Amino acid sequence: MTERWKPSATVAAIIENQGRYLLVEEHTPEGLRLNNPAGHLDPGESLVQGCAREALEETMHLFTPTALVGVYMSRFERAATSSRPAQDVTYLRFAFAGTLGALQAGRQLDTGIVRTLWLTPDEIRASAPRHRSPLVLRGLEDHLAGQRFPLDLIHTDASVFVPAPLLPAP
């Protein structure tokens, strides 16, 4: 039996204030890259909860998602090195617009995040070679175009929030 292919589910916050967008600069195997506050969905959380959590971890600010900007897929291939095998990952990204809340005193930026930056759309476009993913720019352009979908488009069944029963050992 072959293993079933599964895309990697991620969430991203598209945060705008007075014409500037909040990005993070982060360490990656390819060097310093720019990204939306974003990351992988964790078990037991909804897409909206995951986005709020990732934004807090990467910016130290509360974030309340208010609309879905878009759902995106992108494939990422990384060549093998002497210390790691090749990687071929398809990401399924759910990008949200919302409101940025207060800075949470006493927090630190998540591991790997160097700093946060407020950039204009033109600065983001000009920095495309440094983006972690082509979805950074695509999400920006969709946000600028006014693309917003209501959060009730997304349904999270209650079973997500209840730990699955453990299966007996074989």
| Average pLDDT value for the chain | 93
The pLDDT of residue 81 is 85
The answer, yes or no, to whether residue 1 has pLDDT greater than 60, is no
Share of the chain above pLDDT 90, in %: 81
Is residue 7 within 8 Å of 90, Cβ to Cβ?
Answer: yes
Which domains are assigned to the chain?
A: 8-77+87-152 (3.90.79.10)
Helices (H), the chain: 47-59, 121-126, 135-144
pLDDT of 86 above 60: yes
Backbone angles phi and psi of 34, in degrees to 5: -100, 140
CA distances from 117 to 47, 52, 75, 77, 88 (A): 24, 18, 26, 27, 29
β-pairing, 38-40 vs 31-35, is unpaired
Q: What number is the average pLDDT over the span 44-57?
A: 97
Is the pLDDT reported for residue 163 higher than 80?
A: no
